[in-house]
């Protein structure tokens, strides 16, 4: 820096001296007189020292009078209202109500299995047949007896219309026909239990028993696992404090870490019971599963929109500080000519989302918030705004 000042001073000196002195220097050099050249150099050096001293005095005066040169440098941004959506982060589990184990309703030997693992089946489709122990023959006999009883009743009814025979004979024939018909229906219902059919449309996820196995109703005799992957939902436990915020129809985002995939959904249903163990209520979020990649019991991260402010004032968390009384504050730059004054504003904050905080009070739309340099300024201190 001193070298620069010297060059500037020398330039000013040479300009001040004028062309006549420049000629004098040239003439002295051309004379070849070493003593004269040395004297000329000594004179110019003395005059340069005086100029450097004067320049230093001028710089000190400028620094003392122009305070803006020593002000802290800060950057600011203007607060403007914007839409603010807050999301509640929860852990969920994928479920489906159509995920069942199919059990036999009759004891017996499994005669045949009509489907294989991975087969798509329709509601009511026959999946397996169990040996009915000869009840099919009994049903044939009952149907024959029922047909005879019905014929006898019809003939007796015709006779009764002609006033032939007694009323008691007519009533007995009618009762016999009805009893035989009911017996057929009852046996048909029993025989239906010898067949395992699909209670809904879906995919055979497991075939648990092979033909020839003796099965019976109850645990341990499940034959199939049937799943429908098109009607999936996510079950989450929501803290009771959000009972009024998380309601039916609320938007939600779902992320599956294993699949590295996200979907948009809505809350389909909320529970009416607070679990006393964890003080939470359940919420169901319906999800689409067009390609079947989402499986039951898959873990999911759920983000439920529990709060929205259409005209929120947001500022970064990094510009907020806290005083000894526990009050939060931020600095607002109030313009003062070419500079600004840093004013400490006590603020009330709302919800936080990511790096930004909602301001409830203490800051107004249009305020210039100090961002860079907010940690180093003081209240009522003059600052210089870079931007």
Q: Tell me the per-residue pLDDT of 203-244, one tens digit each, with 9 for 90 and over.
A: 899 999 999 888 888 877 899 999 988 888 999 999 999 998
pLDDT of the residue at 332 = 94
Average pLDDT (346-364) is: 92
Crossing angle of helices 135-161 and 167-192, in 10° steps, is 160
Best CA proximity match to 142, nearest among 105, 110, 108, 189: 189
| pLDDT on residue 321 | 92
Q: Which two tokens stand for residue 194?
A: 């010898």
Instruction: Examine the pLDDT at 6 and tell me if it is beyond 80.
Output: no
**pLDDT for residue 10:** 46
- CA gap 315, 352 in Å, rounded: 10
Of 246, 305, 285, which Cα lies nearest the Cα of 95?
285
- pLDDT tier at 152, thresholds 50, 70, 90: confident
The answer to whether residues 269 and 249 touch, using CB atoms and an 8 Å cutoff, is no
Does the pLDDT of residue 299 top 90, yes or no?
yes
- pLDDT for 312 beyond 80: yes
Q: What angle do CA 135, 141, 143 make, to 5 degrees?
A: 100
What is residue 344's predicted lDDT score, i.e. its pLDDT?
93
How many whole angstroms separate alpha carbon 359 and alpha carbon 375? 19
Please give the pLDDT value at position 18.
46
Is 3's pLDDT higher than 70?
A: no
CA distance 365 to 374: 19
Residue 167 contacts residue 160 (beta carbons within 8 Å): yes
pLDDT above 70 for 23: no
What residue has token string 């799943």?
A: 227
Question: Among 14-28, 195-209, 255-269, whose mean pLDDT is lowest?
Answer: 14-28
Q: Which of 379, 371, 353 has the alpha carbon at shortest distance from 88?
A: 353
pLDDT score, position 7: 45
Residues forming beta bridges with residue 238, ordered by sequence position: 281
% of the chain at pLDDT higher than 70? 91
Quickly list H helices, the chain: 2-31, 34-65, 135-161, 167-192
* Of 38, 42, 44, 54, the residue nearest 21 (C-alpha): 44
Residues with Cβ within 8 Å of 62's Cβ and at least 6 positions away in sequence, in order, are 69
Residue pair 108/194 in contact (Cβ under 8 Å)? The answer is yes
The whole-number pLDDT of residue 9 equals: 47
Q: Which of 81, 79, 80 is nearest to 369 (CA)?
A: 79
Query: CA 105 to CA 53: how far, in whole Å?
Result: 112
The CA-based dihedral angle spanning residues 157, 162, 164, 166, taken in that order and rounded to the nearest 10 degrees: 50
Quote the pLDDT of residue 328. Answer: 94
pTM above 0.85, yes or no: no
Question: What's the rounded Cα separation, in Å, for the pair 381 and 324?
Answer: 20
CB atoms within 10 A of CB 127: 20
Q: Which two tokens stand for residue 18?
A: 């004028």
Angle value at C-alpha 248, between 245 and 252, nearest 5 degrees: 75
**pLDDT score, position 232:** 87
Q: What is the pLDDT of residues 94-141, one digit of tens each?
A: 998 888 899 998 888 888 999 999 899 999 999 999 888 777 777 788
CA–CA separation, 248 vs 295, rounded Å?
A: 24
Structure tokens at 367: 């305020």
pLDDT at residue 94, rounded to an integer: 93
pLDDT confidence bin for 66, thresholds 50/70/90: low
pLDDT in tens, 249-281: 988 999 999 999 999 999 999 989 999 999 999
pLDDT value at position 176? 87
| Calpha distance 127→224 (Å, rounded) | 9
Residue 24, C-beta contacts closer than 8 angstroms, at least 6 positions apart: 40
Return the pLDDT at 319.
92
């Amino acid at each position: 820096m001193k070298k620069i000042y010297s060059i500037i001073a020398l330039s000013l000196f040479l300009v001040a001296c004028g062309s006549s002195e420049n000629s004098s220097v040239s003439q002295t050099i051309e004379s070849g007189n070493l003593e004269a050249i040395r004297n000329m150099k000594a004179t110019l050096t003395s005059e340069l020292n005086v100029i450097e001293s004067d320049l230093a005095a001028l710089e000190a005066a400028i620094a003392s009078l122009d305070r803006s040169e020593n002000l802290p440098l800060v950057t600011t941004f203007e607060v403007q209202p914007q839409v603010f959506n807050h999301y509640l982060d929860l852990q969920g589990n994928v479920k489906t109500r159509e995920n069942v184990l199919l059990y036999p309703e009759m004891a017996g030997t499994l005669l045949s299995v009509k489907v294989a693992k991975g087969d798509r089946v329709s509601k009511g489709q026959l999946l397996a047949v169990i040996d009915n122990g000869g009840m099919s023959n009994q049903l044939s006999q009952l149907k024959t007896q029922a047909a005879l009883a019905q014929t006898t009743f019809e003939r007796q009814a015709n006779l009764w219309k002609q006033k032939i025979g007694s009323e008691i004979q007519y009533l007995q024939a009618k009762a016999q026909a009805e009893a035989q018909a009911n017996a057929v229906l009852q046996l048909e219902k029993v025989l239906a239990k010898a067949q395992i059919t699909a209670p809904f449309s879906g995919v055979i996820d497991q075939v648990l028993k092979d033909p020839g196995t003796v099965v019976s109703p109850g645990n341990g005799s499940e034959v199939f696992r049937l799943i429908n992957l098109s009607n999936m939902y996510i079950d989450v436990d929501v803290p009771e404090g959000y009972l009024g915020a998380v309601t039916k129809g609320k938007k939600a985002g779902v992320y599956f870490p294993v699949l590295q995939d996200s979907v948009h959904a809505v809350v389909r249903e909320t529970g009416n019971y607070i679990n006393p163990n964890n003080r939470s209520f359940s919420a169901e979020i319906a999800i689409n599963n067009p390609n079947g990649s989402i499986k039951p019991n898959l873990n999911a991260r759920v983000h439920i929109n529990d709060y929205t402010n259409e005209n929120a004032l947001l500022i970064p968390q990094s510009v907020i500080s806290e005083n000894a009384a526990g009050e939060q504050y931020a600095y607002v730059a109030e313009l003062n000519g070419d500079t600004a004054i840093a004013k400490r504003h006590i603020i009330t904050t709302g919800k936080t989302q990511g790096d930004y905080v909602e301001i409830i009070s203490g800051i107004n739309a249009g305020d210039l918030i100090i961002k860079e340099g907010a940690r180093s300024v003081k209240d009522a201190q003059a600052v210089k705004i870079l931007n």
